[in-house]
């Protein structure tokens, strides 16, 4: 018509874009006001495409125990190139990794870049599936071009990105070493989590060296000095594949699990820094944020134990305690007290379902699809699961029609969602989700605070729940919030049932137009934990129908009743003083009271609410020493054994991982004190040390001249002066 661009030449061409183009031309011909109004609404949604980013974004991340957590690290002063595979995600982590290429082109870009940069060497990550597919050709090209590059062939024994299939064709680490040697690479090293697993007569290429993964940094530093093309084969089985094999009895499950003593943990986050593991979760306590290991997510990789922290304990010979539903879940086995709601539709009905990978979101979509089939409705379920990882955002577009033959689309248009079922508030508030909402959308959102993968690198990450909910409210109609995960844990001791609670809540709010009989039939046909899942669905219905009645067996989920600031302040002081009395004696506890008393007299009363509570916390932190005596006391406290019994079953043996100042040597690789493992006998030592805590700071205290103790005394003196 006029030579202008009609449709964009990039990205996805959706129905709304096509509809606007056709509608504008029809409007010129007809002048129809109804059509004009529809075009205005489409135009408004296009403008909304520039919605501000959500307060938090859930990006895909490596699974707990993923070998890429270690293998994609690079030494200081080096950088790496990404490629096709789950290791692609290293680009948005602190890995000095950037740029990627098509499958089989890994490293080829460096051939063109190398002559025009001052960088002498790069690392190139390449998956084993890509290597076998076409990656060997790129290695051959780099050898021919004589560029300085080290390929890290990430051998994880599975095509993890697409679901864990076996690599096509015969391939093992020994064969790869011989292949790249035949291509003329300069040096070859194998790095693995278990160097002893290779048979003595393994047919390696000449000159191959084998290292434990703890030495990866040293191997990489050596390889970057090698001229030409070198290869590191990093051999460790995919974490997701390990879980599958253990579940099917094809791989032995280690009898050791790591546990964090919450009382000893200081929340520094070094365990996350060392392991990059998403199974490390925050625990909010009266003394601040601590860490815990999500035993359901843990893949028994043990990398978090590299953190410089005395809170890690190996629990050997135990089994993870199975969840025990509360007695109240039995009351949810009947539908008698739950009123049916009006269902059925006369036109297509669109549902956008959001959640987190690995939490059963796709299963919920399948249940809704089957329920629609049982109800003889039309249904399309389009899952957008992305990479094969846990922790990333997952979205399902579900479209219901009165009859199966009335389906005209599988993708929800911008502004076209009738229901947002937000099983995860972060992915529900994402820009790509909100663009599907409108003032006609009903949103049901789980308020559970599940941290993103960025928490591994940002130990003080805050969860902006209020901001996320406000983002949703700004683009949606009615918004209902549900503490679904908390309900699931309290009633069923199983957080994965939260999604069924959400489904039941949406149904009872008349936002899910499928008969409850059909939904329950679909749950039965799914065949997994039928009774529990049916009860979870009914709990969701009950919560929506009568919140007070539903929460009666659970205890209150709301805020504490209002109390005066003076009372809160005094309660805080009492708790901190009692802890100091127990751990450091009455003199130190009295010192805290004295400091606070003097501060109260020197600060105007109108500022007490603002200044006194943080002063109490600061003074407590200065006086409280989590030293050898205190760690020993916390390990002998009954709360430690109680926390173990809540997580594990059976008779087990404990080993505590410590770096005692008088016994621990420096690790030449990391430059940090080397952690040592101590058996059950160490608890006798703990009892003795705990009993001797009165000797802290005395002339015969063997620890009084340690660097930490000297610094602590300086802090106390400085604090008292100020």
Has residue 295 been placed in a domain? no
What confidence tier does 583 reach under pLDDT thresholds 50, 70, 90?
Answer: very high
| 443, containing H or E segment | strand 442-446
Q: What is the pLDDT of residue 563?
A: 63
Are 382 and 513 in a shared domain?
Answer: yes
Are 489 and 537 in a shared domain?
Answer: yes
Instruction: Please state which of the ranges 205-209, 308-312, 421-425, 693-697 shows the lowest mean pLDDT.
Output: 693-697
Of 194, 234, 222, the C-alpha closest to 70 is: 234
Two structure tokens written together for 347:
């036109």
Q: What is the pLDDT of residue 275?
A: 93
* Domain-ending residue, one of 506, 528, 554: 554
* Domain-ending residue, one of 192, 209, 237: 237
* Tens digit of each residue's pLDDT (9 = 90 or more) over 10-37: 877 877 788 888 988 898 888 888 889 8
What confidence tier does 326 reach under pLDDT thresholds 50, 70, 90?
Answer: low
- In the chain, the percentage of residues whose pLDDT exceeds 70 is 93
Is the pLDDT confidence value at 551 over 70? no
* Tens digit of each residue's pLDDT (9 = 90 or more) over 501-518: 999 999 999 999 999 999
- Pick the more confident residue, 73 or 569: 73
Are 609 and 550 in a shared domain?
Answer: no
Is the pLDDT confidence value at 48 over 60? no
What confidence tier does 387 reach under pLDDT thresholds 50, 70, 90?
Answer: low
Has residue 663 been placed in a domain? no
Q: What is the pLDDT of residue 338?
A: 75
Q: What is the pLDDT of residue 546?
A: 72
Instruction: Please state which of the ranges 64-68, 322-326, 584-588, 697-701 shows the lowest mean pLDDT.
Output: 322-326
Are 646 and 589 in a shared domain?
Answer: yes
3-class SS at 39?
Answer: helix
Q: What is the pLDDT of residue 395?
A: 92
Of 523, 439, 562, the C-alpha closest to 44 is: 439
Half-sphere exposure of 610 (CA within 13 A, CB side): 5
- What is the pLDDT of the chain when averaged over all its residues? 89
User: What is the mean pLDDT of the segment spanning 320-327?
Assistant: 72
Has residue 425 been placed in a domain? yes
Q: What is the pLDDT of residue 566?
A: 81
Distance of CA 437 to the CA centre of its chain: 26
Has residue 80 been placed in a domain? yes
Q: What is the distance between the terminal CA atoms of the chain, rounded to a whole angstrom?
A: 76
Has residue 265 been placed in a domain? no
Are 369 and 498 in a shared domain?
Answer: yes
Half-sphere exposure of 88 (CA within 13 A, CB side): 18
- Pick the more confident residue, 605 or 242: 242
Q: Are 175 and 233 in contact (CB under 8 A)?
A: no
What confidence tier does 335 reach under pLDDT thresholds 50, 70, 90?
Answer: low
Are 232 and 195 in a shared domain?
Answer: yes
3-class SS at 218?
Answer: helix
* Domain-ending residue, one of 554, 581, 606: 554
Has residue 208 been placed in a domain? yes
Q: What is the pLDDT of residue 29?
A: 87
Are 375 and 472 in a shared domain?
Answer: yes
Are 511 and 578 in a shared domain?
Answer: no
User: What CATH number does residue 111 fall under?
Assistant: 3.40.50.970
Are 148 and 229 in a shared domain?
Answer: yes
Are 539 and 571 in a shared domain?
Answer: no
3-class SS at 683?
Answer: helix
Tell me how long the chain is: 722
pTM here is 0.86
Q: Are 66 and 243 in contact (CB under 8 A)?
A: no
Residue 662: other Cβ atoms inside 10 A: 8
Range of the domain at 446: 327-554
Is the pLDDT confidence value at 271 over 80? yes
**Angle of CA points 481, 484, 490, to nearest 5°:** 140
Are 570 and 626 in a shared domain?
Answer: yes
DSSP classification of residue 696? T
Has residue 270 been placed in a domain? no
User: What CATH number does residue 358 fall under?
Assistant: 3.40.920.10
- In the chain, the percentage of residues whose pLDDT exceeds 90 is 61
Distance of CA 92 to the CA centre of its chain: 14
CA separation for the pair 494, 323 (Å, rounded): 6
**Cα distances (Å, whole numbers) of residue 369 to 200, 446, 505, 534, 676:** 54, 21, 17, 17, 53
User: What is the mean pLDDT of the segment spanning 186-214?
Assistant: 95
Count: domains in the chain: 3
Q: What is the pLDDT of residue 556?
A: 40
- Pick the more confident residue, 328 or 206: 206
Is the pLDDT confidence value at 332 over 80? no
Has residue 362 been placed in a domain? yes
Q: In degrees rounded to 5, what are phi and psi of residue 658? A: -135, 165
Are 530 and 595 in a shared domain?
Answer: no
Q: What is the pLDDT of residue 632?
A: 96
Instruction: Please state which of the ranges 456-470, 659-673, 688-702 shows the lowest mean pLDDT.
Output: 659-673
């Amino acid at each position: 018509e006029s030579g202008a661009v009609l449709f964009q030449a990039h990205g996805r061409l959706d129905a709304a874009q096509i509809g606007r183009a056709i509608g504008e031309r029809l409007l010129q011909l007809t002048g129809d006001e109804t059509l004009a109004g529809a075009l205005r609404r489409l135009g408004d949604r296009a403008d909304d495409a520039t919605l501000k980013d959500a307060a938090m974004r859930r990006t895909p991340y490596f699974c707990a125990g993923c070998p890429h957590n270690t293998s994609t690290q690079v030494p200081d002063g080096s950088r790496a190139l990404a490629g096709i595979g789950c290791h692609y995600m290293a680009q948005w982590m602190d890995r000095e990794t950037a740029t990627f290429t098509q499958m089989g082109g890994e490293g080829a870009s460096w051939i063109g870049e190398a002559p025009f940069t001052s960088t002498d060497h790069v690392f190139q990550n390449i998956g084993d599936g890509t290597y076998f597919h076409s990656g060997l050709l790129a290695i051959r090209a780099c050898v021919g071009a004589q560029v300085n590059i080290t390929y890290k062939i990430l051998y994880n024994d599975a095509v993890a990105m697409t679901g864990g299939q076996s690599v096509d064709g015969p391939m093992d680490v020994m064969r790869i070493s011989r292949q790249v040697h035949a291509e003329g690479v300069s040096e070859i090293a194998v790095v693995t989590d278990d160097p002893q697993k290779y048979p003595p007569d393994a047919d390696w290429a000449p000159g191959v060296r084998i290292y434990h993964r703890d030495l990866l940094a040293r191997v990489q530093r050596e390889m970057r000095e090698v001229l030409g093309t070198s290869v590191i084969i990093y051999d460790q089985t995919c974490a997701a594949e390990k879980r599958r094999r253990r579940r099917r009895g094809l791989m032995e499950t280690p009898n050791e699990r790591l546990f964090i003593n919450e009382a000893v943990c200081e929340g520094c986050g070094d365990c996350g820094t060392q392991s990059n593991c998403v199974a490390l979760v925050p625990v909010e306590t009266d003394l601040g944020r601590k860490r815990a290991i999500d035993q359901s997510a843990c893949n028994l990789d043990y990398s978090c134990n590299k953190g410089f922290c005395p809170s890690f304990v190996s629990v050997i010979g135990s089994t993870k305690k199975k969840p025990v539903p509360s007695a109240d879940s039995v009351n949810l086995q009947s539908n008698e007290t739950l009123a049916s709601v009006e269902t059925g539709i006369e036109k297509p009905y669109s549902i956008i379902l959001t959640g987190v990978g690995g939490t059963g979101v796709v299963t919920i979509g399948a249940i809704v699809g089957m329920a629609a089939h049982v109800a003889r409705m039309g249904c399309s379920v389009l899952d957008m699961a992305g990479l094969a990882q846990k922790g990333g955002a997952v979205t399902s577009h579900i479209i219901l029609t009165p009859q199966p033959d009335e389906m005209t689309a599988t993708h929800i248009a911008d502004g076209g969602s009738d229901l947002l079922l937000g099983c995860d508030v972060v992915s529900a508030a994402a820009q790509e989700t909100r663009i599907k909402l409108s003032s006609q959308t009903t949103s049901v959102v789980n308020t559970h605070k599940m941290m993103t993968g960025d928490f591994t690198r940002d130990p003080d990450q805050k969860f902006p729940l209020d901001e996320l909910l406000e983002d949703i409210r700004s683009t949606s109609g009615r918004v209902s919030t549900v503490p679904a995960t908390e309900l699931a844990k309290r009633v069923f001791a199983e957080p994965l049932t939260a999604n069924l609670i959400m489904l039941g809540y949406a149904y009872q709010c008349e936002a899910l137009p499928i008969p409850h009989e059909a939904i329950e039939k679909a749950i039965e046909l799914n065949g997994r934990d039928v009774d529990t899942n049916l009860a979870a669905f009914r709990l969701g219905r009950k919560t929506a129908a009568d919140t007070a009645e539903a929460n009666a067996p659970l205890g209150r989920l709301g805020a504490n009743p209002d109390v005066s600031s003076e009372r809160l302040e005094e309660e805080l002081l009492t708790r901190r003083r009692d802890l100091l009395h127990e751990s450091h004696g009455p003199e130190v506890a009295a010192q805290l009271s004295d400091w606070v008393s003097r501060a109260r007299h020197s600060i105007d009363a109108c500022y007490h609410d603002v200044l006194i509570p943080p002063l109490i916390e600061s003074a407590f932190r200065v006086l409280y020493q989590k030293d050898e005596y205190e760690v020993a006391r916390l390990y002998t406290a009954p709360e430690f054994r109680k926390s173990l019994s809540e997580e594990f079953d059976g008779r087990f043996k404990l080993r505590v991982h410590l770096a005692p100042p008088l016994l621990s040597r420096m690790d030449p690789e990391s430059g940090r004190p080397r952690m040592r493992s101590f058996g059950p006998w160490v608890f006798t030592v703990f009892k003795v040390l705990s009993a001797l805590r009165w000797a802290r700071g005395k002339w015969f205290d063997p620890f009084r001249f340690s660097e930490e103790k000297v610094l602590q005394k300086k802090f106390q003196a400085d604090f008292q002066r100020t």
